[in-house]
Amino acid sequence: MTDLPMPADASRDATKSSLLVADARTRKRNAAEKRFRSYGAAAIGVALVALVVLLSSIIGGGAGAFRQTYLSIPVALDADVLDPKGNRDPAEMSKVLTLSYGRVLDAAVDTAVADGGIEIEGLSDKDIGGLISKEASAQLRDRVLADPELLGTTVETNVLVNGRVDGYFKGRVTMESAEADGNTSPQQLMLAEELKERGMLVTRFNWDFVTNPDASDQRPEAAGVGVAILGSLYMMLVVLFLAVPIGVAASIYLEEFAPKNRWTDVIEVNISNLAAVPSIVFGILGLAAFINFAGLPQSAPIVGGLVLTLMTLPTIIISTRAALKAVPPSIRDAALGVGASKMQSVFHHVLPLAMPGILTGTIIGLAQALGETAPLLLIGMVAFVREFPAAPPEGLFDPASALPVQVYNWTQRADPAFIERASGAIIVLLAFLLCMNVLAIVLRRRFERRW
């Protein structure tokens, strides 16, 4: 490397240097080279390790949300309790409170425990009744109201089990932690263990997590992301119908028609600055402009959609402009040459050719909007919503949640079972994002044209 004639320095003797033996300085320089290179490799290694740890910790923590423990027992639906008038009229029956169904269920569990011949020292009635979720009675009520014919019969029911017991089978709750926990007891867990051995307690895949609405603080086992998925979907619809046409129109103007003057300069600087404004500032804008000023309802997907539209506009504009710029001028010249107006050349030729690039940019922008949380917190999407919103367009004004906000919501609850739910919701969110990104890549591969 250093076979250049070196200056006749006191420390070095040029005549003694050899091409075959590296001298001290060369060795030092080569070592520095190696070190530098290894720093680079290490940096990439650190980034990749961070990615792997991040994903595995979330997926490892959230996988449990997709499995749920159920108690399958025969439940005798006592017609005298559940339909005191005895006429099987759903309107009359809906007056019977969830509480009565709870009693029916408790009786069923007691019978099941007695029939199974399970005896555990120190097992109290509270332990047995507390085995099943508080949500289970509401679910049974819905089922009976939907099908009054079930009354008076004994039906095999899959009853949702309490979150602590469910957590025991997932390894979150142990006998030691149950000792200190007021909501469960070691006896209860032993009972659950016994029931599991008899095959009455099964842990299986939990579709309800994807379809159920949120549940209250005491019922983590019943909480799901159904409303949140629907809310996110509605907001994406709003973004798609607003941000894409506006973004594409703005890009067409800026890229194809705008004269180079101070006004368009202002617009350009504005767009690049908007792309870097913190997302929470858009939330403040949404609160002040759409809710306080325009009077739109809080927690409505329409407001969330509008805020996300403003946020994704810069992304869509930047990628659309890049796509338009990639279409060679010869296309425009040819169209103009055969008598098309400037507008026709753009709409009939340039735009269709730029479509794949625009679509890819749009999907990336939508993916970004889907994961955005902070602005939605400010416009009231954190509210506890159990009702599914109606079909659009009216449903856009109904309260709803959103996937990332639901995650935040669950992290604020006391029961650690909600952390598992939050990680589960993130898995759902990441699955959606993955699909969108794969779609974007496929579109780019399929339709991208090199000029």
Partner 1 sequence: MAGILGEQSGAFVGLLAVAAGIIGFVWGLTRIGVEYKARDTVERIVMGVLILCSTIAILTTAGIVLSLVFETGHFFQKYSWTDFFFGTNWTPRFQGNSDLGILPLLWGTLYISFIALLVAVPIGMFAAIYMSEYASKRVRGIAKPAIEVLAGIPTIVYGLFALITVGPMLRDYFAQPLGLGQSGASVLTAGLVMGIMLIPFVSSLSDDIINAVPQSLRDGALGLGSTPSETIKQVVLPAALPGIVGAVLLAASRAIGETMIVVLGAGAAARMSLNPFEAMTTITVKIVSQLTGDNDFSAPETLVAFALGLTLFVITLALNIVALYIVRKYREQYE
Of 332-391, which residues contact partner 1 (CB under 8 A)?
A: 341, 343-344, 367, 370-374, 377-378, 380, 382
CB of 98 to partner 1, least distance (A): 28
Contact flag: residue 8 with partner 1 (CB under 8 A): no
Does 270 participate in binding partner 1 (rule CB under 8 A)?
yes
Measured from the CB atom, is 56 or 87 closer to partner 1? 56
Q: Is residue 90 within the footprint of partner 1 (CB under 8 A)?
A: no
For partner 1, the closer CB: 195 or 363? 363
Q: How far is the CB of 89 from partner 1 (least distance, A)?
A: 29
| CB 110, min distance to partner 1, A | 38
Query: Within positions 292 to 321, which residues make up the interface with partner 1, using CB under 8 A?
Result: 292-293, 310, 313-314, 317
Which of 137, 139, 312, 423 lies at the binding interface for partner 1 (CB under 8 A)? 423
* Interface with partner 1 (CB under 8 A), residue from 25, 37, 85, 449: 37
Quick check: 33 binds partner 1 (CB under 8 A)? yes
Q: Does 397 bind partner 1 (CB under 8 A)?
A: no
Q: Applying CB under 8 A, which of residues 21, 24, 91, 276 lies at the interface with partner 1?
A: 276
Q: CA 253 to CA 434: how far, in whole Å? A: 32
Question: Judged by CB, which is closer to partner 1: 68, or 409?
Answer: 409
For partner 1, how many residues bind (rule: CB under 8 A)?
88
Q: Is 437 in the site for partner 1 (CB under 8 A)?
A: yes
Residue span binding partner 1 (CB under 8 A) among the ranges 80-88, 100-108, 348-356, 419-427: 419-427
Q: Which residues of 305-338 are buried (b: 16+ CB within 10 A; e: fewer)?
A: bbbbbbbbbbbbbbbbbebbeebeeebbeebeee
Q: Which is nearer to partner 1, 157 or 232 (CB)?
A: 232
Quick check: 258 binds partner 1 (CB under 8 A)?
A: yes
Q: Which is nearer to partner 1, 34 or 85 (CB)?
A: 34
Nearest approach, Cβ of residue 360 and partner 1 (Å): 13
Within 117-176, which residues bind partner 1 (CB under 8 A)?
A: none
Specify the residue, 5 or 122, whose C-beta has the smaller distance to partner 1.
5
What is the spatial distance between Cα 139 and Cα 222, in angstroms, rounded to a whole number? Answer: 10
- Contact positions with partner 1 (CB under 8 A) in 56-85: 57-58, 61
Task: Report how far residue 392's alpha carbon sits from residue 398's, in angstroms, rounded to the nearest whole number.
Answer: 9
Instruction: Please give, one letter per residue, the 3-state secondary structure of 123-159.
Output: CCHHHHHCCECCHHHHHHHHHHHHCHHHCCCEEEEEE
**Other C-beta atoms lying within 10 Å of the C-beta of residue 156:** 8
437/363 Cα distance (integer angstroms) = 7
Report d(CA 319, CA 255) in Å as an integer: 12
Kindly report the three-state secondary structure assignment for every residue of the chain: CCCCCCCCCCCCCHHHCCCCCCCHHHHHHHHHHHHHHHHHHHHHHHHHHHHHHHHHHHHHHHHHHHEEEEEEEEEECCHHHHCCCCCCCHHHHCCCCHHHHHHHHHHHHHHHHHHHCCCCCCCCHHHHHCCECCHHHHHHHHHHHHCHHHCCCEEEEEEEECHHHHHHHHCCCCHHHHHHCCCCCHHHHHHHHHHHHCCCEEEEECCHHHHCCCCCCCCHHHCCCHHHHHHHHHHHHHHHHHHHHHHHHHHHHHHHHCCCCHHHHHHHHHHHHHCCCCHHHHHHHHHHHHHHHCCCCCCCHHHHHHHHHHHHHHHHHHHHHHHHHHCCHHHHHHHHHCCCCHHHHHHHHHHHHHHHHHHHHHHHHHHHHHHCCHHHHHCCCCCCCCCCCCCCCHHHHCCCCCHHHHHHHHHCCCCCHHHHHHHHHHHHHHHHHHHHHHHHHHHHHHHCCCC
Per CB under 8 A, 273 contacts partner 1: yes
* Binding segment toward partner 1, per CB under 8 A, in 123-131, 138-146, 175-183, 247-255: 247-255
CB of 197 to partner 1, least distance (A): 32
Residue 287 binds partner 1 (CB under 8 A) = yes
Q: In this complex, which beta carbon is closest to partner 1, that of residue 283 or of residue 399?
A: 283
426 binds partner 1, rule: CB under 8 A: yes
Query: Which of 159, 358 has the CB closer to partner 1?
Result: 358
Q: Which of 79, 155, 202, 246 binds partner 1 (CB under 8 A)?
A: 246
Candidates 14, 175, 277, 431; binder of partner 1 (CB under 8 A) is: 277
Indicate the residue among 128 and 405 with the shorter CB distance to partner 1.
405
Binding residue for partner 1 (CB under 8 A) from 241, 257, 384, 447? 257
Smallest separation, CB 282 to partner 1 (Å) = 8
| By CB under 8 A, residue 442 contacts partner 1 | no
To the nearest whole angstrom, how small is the minimum distance from the Cβ of residue 383 to partner 1? Answer: 9
